[in-house]
Structure 1
């Protein structure tokens, strides 16, 4: 599960208390500070990380600089063996410190940290390292394999080094924490290699940024309960505009997007993943429907197909109801003959879909069965989704609304 550590050391003084309160209220994964007494005052719902002065991310320097001097193996070992809990003779819980953050820049320093963690009774030590060249990159990979937490500050904006660490630490039990400069970078870091960093270390500028980060961490897509819809009529309605949605992702064979003429019900429209006799497959595309149609996106938000365009985010939906976010690369609107498909759910609710009147356009039935729209007959069964909310500008709203 993804998490965030809030770094209080770089938060402006006038914002410090508000950021701290927000971090606790939003249940951030951890708080990083140089003040042990401040950390001890926090509830155990957050991981309390003590980072003594000089143990944060270093300023980017050229390879070969002495940024990592002064944090030798002897200091790292002494801290790991004699952390706050050991010096006081009390347990980590009694001191209010859950993790001690220490910098490492050599194999000896890393080995000392790992050895200290194997010793009983001490506060667990996490390592922090600045990756600026191949040597420090390889050392960070080793840290990810040996330490409970490895915090990495990447000097360069490329995410290739992060990909390398993620691949190297695939089987590791420890957690990888990446230092980020803003929320946009946090979102990118969480998506690298589809797995992403386990956590991030971030110094927010305000309490609002803490809550925005909390929303980012909770940005999951729901499992939908799909319904079986029964076709009751099909008719040719003439020329109109339909929309093809080209995404930046490959669809699975049983995936598509939900489209409907009414906000109360949608049909699962199939992607062009399956072979067609007269053109190559386009597994990123859904021939979705007429431009007036609704399509379902994240956070229970709908959009008209006419509003969908480059950069829009929609839900890819599988025949078993699983969902995931897909980004739209482009939407293509063209005039074509249209076909209206009217269906009803088990409760009698009407679900309507208007699509291009062509054999190549497909919808999905129970079990992910692929159905050509021009071959549908009364009584055929389709997969769909029934929404309980009425809509205003795509948002759920509790008001009377009748669609015909």
Structure 2
């Protein structure tokens, strides 16, 4: 599931200067959506690239604008329903409501904004969700229980957006019922809280991989080959690296060059990955050939516990270097291997910690990611492929 962060920046926040400061902090942090009043749409467009949702009246009419830059990406109704931020709940509500504004024909996505005051409002939110692309729910005295109820009752017909004020509340919203809300609507002026909420979003979307040990069965010097250093736009920690291998089903953990040495300065943005033919794992579980990487591509960073994050390639540096062939056997008895540069600065992770490839011996246990799955153009497929 792809999570997103919405930032509330309507007139309840204050003057345009107050709203502008909040929006700017959101843009710098990397929020996905900004929720504003209609008159601020063009102002937000001038500040930067972000999805914009705009509050409209309950009788809102989707306008055909010649200039898309002055039109919101989605219209949200309900802010003025009862004067307290709710979609108007009919006094005689009994399971159906006049949702004609949401149900209107038009290309622009529509959403509903519902403050949950009691169980009747929960039921009304369900009605809104049947027709709205986005259903924003704002808890009052109770937050978790209404969110649990709506997650359980609402399917994939809408994107459920939960109102929060802190990163901690956002994490709870993403994790509720082990399914979570699709998005959160953050209401805060604190730039640090905005940044932390975006970090929570990123963490919620990331894979955690099941890494295992494979025993080294052979290590030998080979001739020279075209070797690729992956230089990223991110700094990696001491326990981080990438998954590299000659066979897509078995990828070796190769540390980033974070360690200092008497001869070479640390380069914590770099992984000395291996020969051009090898695979590197990218976000989403796909693989890419090292030879294909170029500036702007995304690669997956992984730590020794299997936690992952994304990094942008700044450059792929290819040079001819002497190589080692490293062969290992998985717990299932499968043989996997890779080519890696013969140099003391390249470290792999063993059951005894970091170790230079120049010090590897048969019998050492290396950290690997193994999946008995064939791949075609980087995608996992149900197909018989022999790699040797």
1:314 to 299, 302, 311: 299
User: In the alignment, is residue 393 of structure 1 matched against residue 370 of structure 2?
Assistant: no
The residue number in structure 2 matching 1:196 is 198
Provide the aligned C-alpha RMSD in A. 4.5
Specify every segment of 5 or more residues in structure 2 that has no aligned partner in the other structure, as ranges.
7-54, 66-78, 103-113, 123-137, 144-163, 174-183, 188-193
Contact 2:276–2:291 (8 Å) recurs in 1: yes
Highest CA radius of gyration, 1 or 2? 1
Contact 2:82–2:88 (8 Å) recurs in 1: no
Deviations 1:226-247 (A, max 9, x none): 1101111111102111000011
Contact 1:239–1:335 (8 Å) recurs in 2: yes
Shift of 1:267: 0.7
SS of aligned partner of 1:275: coil
Residue 193 to residue 309, structure 1, CA distance change in 2 (3 Å): farther
SS of aligned partner of 2:83: helix
SS of aligned partner of 2:198: coil
The residue number in structure 2 matching 1:260 is 245
Name the CA distance, whole Å, in 2 between partners of 1:77 and 1:117.
Answer: 10
Q: Which moved more, 1:277-286 or 1:263-272?
A: 277-286
Shift of 1:394: 1.7
Name the CA distance, whole Å, in 2 between partners of 1:394 and 1:226.
Answer: 20
Matches within 5 A, 1:5-404: 51-53=57-59, 79-80=83-84, 84-85=88-89, 88-90=91-93, 95=97, 169-170=166-167, 175-176=184-185, 193=195, 195-196=197-198, 220-366=205-351, 369-404=353-388
Contact 2:116–2:140 (8 Å) recurs in 1: no
Contact 2:227–2:275 (8 Å) recurs in 1: yes
Name the CA distance, whole Å, in 1 between partners of 2:216 and 2:337.
Answer: 10
Contact 1:80–1:122 (8 Å) recurs in 2: no
SS of aligned partner of 1:374: helix
Shift of 1:261: 1.0
Residue 344 to residue 77, structure 1, CA distance change in 2 (3 Å): closer
Name the CA distance, whole Å, in 1 between partners of 2:386 and 2:116.
Answer: 66
Equivalenced residues, count: 262
Name the CA distance, whole Å, in 2 between partners of 1:363 and 1:279.
Answer: 17
Contact 1:145–1:172 (8 Å) recurs in 2: no
Shift of 1:84: 2.9
Shift of 1:300: 2.3
Shift of 1:355: 0.9
Deviations 1:53-74 (A, max 9, x none): 46999x9xxxxxxxxxxxxxxx
Using the size of structure 1 for normalisation, the TM-score is 0.54
Using the size of structure 2 for normalisation, the TM-score is 0.56
Deviations 1:26-47 (A, max 9, x none): xxxxxxxxxxxxxxxxxxxxxx
SS of aligned partner of 2:369: strand
Shift of 1:77: 9.4
Shift of 1:318: 1.4
Shift of 1:168: 8.3
Q: Which moved more, 1:305-314 or 1:167-176?
A: 167-176
